[in-house]
């Protein structure tokens, strides 16, 4: 006899663990499986773990602002559970969105007003007061260092910024997933690591369970695909699921750089998370008094879509293909150095390389599928870390309602955000939606 569960979750990252946690709190007997050795060790570990509210859609802003409330009250969210590794910490630096041509900041401001996000409008002088190392000239359009115009002297100043006092980042993304795993276990959830799913089984009418590479089978009437960069491969294992998705996902190789703060400036203690569309980067403090610098995917930056199995096998099968490329290291660090002119850029690149699980419009899919009992929480990389606890609550409610008869495709779940009191139409995240052209089509969501 195969061991039976009420729900099986594929993927123990920062989205999968909250789904396990919320389902367990709702009385579901859950099993979460993962290819790696512990929770949060996949793409979650390489997340920049930024918590900010600016999104290109009202629902995106609402989800993120709801998420703030969980990170700000982390211990209570976890049910005061103990974790032998300690607890991740929310670093409440505040979040600066520079007003630039690289961000539709007026739309963001309008979305903030609709949702009720707490924010301030900062002048250039106020930004300079808060972050004296910033040069607040406009450097638009975004270019790469090999462009002969890259070093042209600027002639205009930026307009200012929108500042959210509740923004920041989590100190350790992998640890945050591990914390949630421990909270889920406290409610009876089981986790199984170092295992690979090779089949999603069904009886012709609905999902019945999964099969592992070693032949082990587990049964459940509910299976949730939260496999991150491997999500599209799991979808292809499930009958009718891939073809039933109008919005697809694929894996994108992404690089994040670590560059020392200017001498004499304590960016780790005094710095702010900043979204800087004017130079096509975002940056936040990192351990070691570093600037963590990511690309906001401007048009000049190439995108490398990869097979996740080949990426994680690495060159010669020796682990992840995680070497920073010199060209992208220079592109991101030099662009950030235009904003921070005293930044000293080492010759030896430092940083992180991993994969994003991206949907066609960079908005996640939180949904049921055409195979009854099989659910999706995918396409979430790059901009959904901050929403992870909210996604857990959303998916648990969606699964429970659908299993009790809700036809989510015809009558989408109306999901109430418990902290901010706003209700969103969960059909916004449907697999069957048309591409949402309000999206930024980037890490900004």
Domain ranges in the chain? 3-85+172-249+360-429, 92-168+255-352
> Degrees (nearest 5) of the Cα angle 366, 247, 387?
30
Phi, psi at 360, each rounded to 5°? -60, -30
What residue ranges of the chain have pLDDT lower than 70?
Answer: 314-321, 445
Report how far residue 385's alpha carbon sits from residue 275's, in angstroms, rounded to the nearest whole number: 16
Q: What pTM was computed for the model?
A: 0.96
How large a percentage of the chain has pLDDT more than 90? 93
Phi, psi at 411, each rounded to 5°? -130, 85
DSSP collapsed to 3 states, 211-250: EECCCCEEECCCEEECCHHHHHHHHHHCCCCCCCCCCCEE
Q: Return the pLDDT at 113.
A: 97
DSSP collapsed to 3 states, 130-149: HCCCCCCECCCCCCCCCCCC
Report how far residue 443's alpha carbon sits from residue 385's, in angstroms, rounded to the nearest whole number: 11
CATH class of this structure's domain 92-168+255-352: alpha beta
Q: Return the pLDDT at 316.
A: 47
Report how far residue 400's alpha carbon sits from residue 27's, in angstroms, rounded to the nearest whole number: 10
Q: Return the pLDDT at 16.
A: 98
Report how far residue 444's alpha carbon sits from residue 358's, in angstroms, rounded to the nearest whole number: 12
Residue (of 67, 115, 59, 80) closest to 415 by Cα position = 59
Q: Return the pLDDT at 318.
A: 54
Q: Return the pLDDT at 320.
A: 61
Q: What is the pLDDT of residues 188-242, one digit of tens each?
A: 999 999 999 999 999 999 999 999 999 999 999 999 999 999 999 999 999 999 9
Q: Between 3.50.50.60, 3.90.1480.20, 3.40.190.10, 3.40.50.1820, what CATH number should domain 3-85+172-249+360-429 receive?
A: 3.50.50.60
């Amino acid at each position: 006899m195969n061991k039976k569960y009420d729900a099986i979750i594929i993927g123990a990252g920062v989205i999968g663990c909250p789904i396990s946690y919320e389902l367990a709190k709702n009385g579901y007997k859950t099993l979460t499986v993962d290819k790696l050795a512990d929770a949060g060790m996949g793409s979650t570990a390489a997340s920049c773990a930024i918590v900010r509210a600016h999104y290109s859609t009202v629902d995106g802003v609402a989800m993120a602002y709801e998420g703030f409330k969980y990170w700000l009250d982390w211990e209570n969210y976890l049910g005061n559970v103990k974790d032998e590794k300690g607890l991740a910490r929310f670093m409440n630096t505040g979040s600066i969105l520079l007003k630039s041509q690289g961000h539709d900041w007026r739309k963001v401001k309008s979305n903030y007003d609709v949702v009720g996000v707490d924010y301030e409008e900062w002048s250039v002088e106020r930004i300079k007061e808060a972050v004296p190392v910033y040069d607040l000239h406009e450097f638009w359009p975004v270019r790469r260092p090999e462009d002969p115009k890259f070093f042209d002297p600027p002639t205009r100043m930026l307009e200012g910024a929108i500042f959210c006092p509740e923004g920041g980042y989590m100190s350790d993304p992998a640890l945050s997933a591990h914390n949630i795993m421990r909270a889920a276990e406290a409610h009876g959830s089981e986790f199984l690591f170092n295992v690979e799913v090779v089949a999603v089984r069904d009886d012709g009418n609905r999902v019945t369970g999964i099969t592992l590479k070693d032949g082990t089978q587990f049964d459940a009437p509910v299976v949730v695909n939260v496999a991150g960069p491997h999500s599209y491969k799991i979808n292809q294992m499930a009958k009718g699921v891939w073809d039933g998705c109008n919005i697809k996902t694929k894996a994108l190789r992404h690089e994040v750089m670590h560059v020392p703060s200017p001498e004499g400036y304590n960016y780790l203690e005094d710095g702010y998370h900043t979204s800087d569309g004017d130079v096509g980067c975002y940056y936040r403090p990192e351990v070691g008094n570093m600037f963590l610098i990511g690309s906001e995917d401007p048009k000049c930056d190439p995108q490398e879509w990869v097979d996740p199995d080949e990426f994680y096998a690495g060159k010669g099968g020796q682990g992840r293909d995680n070497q920073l490329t010199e060209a992208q290291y220079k592109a991101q660090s030099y662009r950030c150095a235009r904003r921070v002119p005293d930044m000293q850029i080492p010759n030896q690149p430092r940083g992180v390389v991993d994969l994003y699980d991206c949907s066609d419009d960079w908005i996640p899919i939180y949904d049921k599928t055409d195979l009854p009992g099989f659910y999706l929480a995918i396409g979430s990389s790059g901009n959904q870390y901050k929403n992870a606890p909210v996604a857990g609550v959303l998916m648990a409610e969606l699964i429970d309602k659908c299993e009790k008869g809700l036809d989510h495709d015809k009558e989408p779940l109306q999901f109430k955000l418990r902290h901010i009191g706003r209700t969103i139409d969960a059909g916004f995240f449907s697999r069957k939606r048309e591409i949402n052209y309000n999206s930024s089509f980037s890490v900004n969501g």
